[in-house]
């Protein structure tokens, strides 16, 4: 199974159903919408979306407008436009509006699936801006922000928070964190993980209200 989540916004119900059916057969999870609404961005906040398939001819708001708006907010999710807008200027406009690929209707479903797989494969290790809830990570300067305010972290805390953000909603044991974050460090003790996470919590959630990091007794930690 691919275990990748794809968000689809397509106002033609038969096309939406075809895309969801075909992608699910390939092992992807899908969430589909017939238009852009508040629930779409809520999904982006709450679910680890790996790709967005976006129509441009949507009721209410053009797909590119929505994509531009979420990119400005720090969402770094690959975009594939699937649309009837097929003029040269439309395609150029789409690539200017953050397209990782641009597919015009009518489309061949097998070719479309192949192109979607290619986009996901290219982007799987390409993190520029990563956003989880209100925490934003910018790879260009290797800094984290909450509400545009920089979070000042040590090198270890930086690597620890990045590992958590890349693995949102995935249970991580202390042993896993020691291997991936501490690597060849001399001080490889389970107690060290507890102390480092406590310090990290104090920096990203000083009032202890947001509960980014949850401790699962006897198992490890969840970042959610």
CATH at residue 165: 1.10.10.10
Query: What total of structural domains would you count in the chain?
Result: 2
Same domain, 14 and 112: yes
> Do 168 and 107 have their domain in common?
no
What's 181's DSSP letter?
I
Range of the domain at 145: 129-223
In terms of Cα–Cα distance, which of 154, 208, 206 is closest to 181?
A: 154
Last residue of a domain, one of 106, 123, 140: 123
- Which is nearest to 214 in space by CA: 184, 167, 171? 171
Same domain, 32 and 59: yes
- Of the listed ranges 55-59, 61-65, 159-163, 178-182, the least confidently predicted one is 178-182
pLDDT digits (tens, 9 = 90+) for 120-177: 877 765 556 788 888 988 877 788 999 888 998 888 888 899 889 888 888 888 888 8
Query: Which secondary structure element, helix H or strand E, spans residue 41, and what is its range?
Result: helix 38-46
Whether 91 and 22 share a structural domain = yes
Which of 92, 123, 154 is the C-terminal boundary of a domain?
123
CATH at 32: 3.40.50.2300
């Amino acid at each position: 199974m691919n275990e990748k989540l794809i968000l689809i916004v397509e106002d033609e119900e038969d096309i939406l159903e075809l895309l969801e059916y075909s992608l699910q057969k390939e092992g992807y999870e899908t969430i589909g919408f017939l238009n852009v609404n508040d629930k779409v961005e809520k999904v982006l906040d709450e679910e680890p979306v790996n790709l967005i398939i976006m129509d441009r001819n949507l009721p209410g708001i053009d797909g590119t407008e929505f994509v531009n708006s979420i990119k400005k907010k720090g969402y770094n999710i690959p975009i594939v436009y699937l649309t009837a807008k097929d003029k040269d200027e439309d395609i150029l406009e789409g690539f200017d509006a953050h397209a990782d690929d641009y597919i015009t209707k009518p489309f061949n479903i097998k070719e479309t699936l192949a192109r979607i797989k290619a986009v996901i494969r290219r982007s799987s290790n390409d993190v520029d801006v990563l956003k989880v809830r209100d925490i934003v990570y910018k790879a260009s300067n290797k800094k984290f922000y909450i509400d545009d305010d920089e979070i000042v972290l040590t090198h270890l805390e930086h690597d620890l928070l990045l590992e958590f953000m890349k693995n949102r909603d995935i249970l991580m044991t202390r042993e896993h964190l020691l291997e991936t974050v501490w690597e060849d460090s001399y001080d490889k003790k389970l107690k060290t993980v507890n102390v480092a996470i406590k310090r990290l919590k104090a920096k990203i959630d000083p009032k202890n209200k947001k509960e980014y990091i949850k401790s699962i007794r006897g198992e490890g930690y969840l970042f959610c």
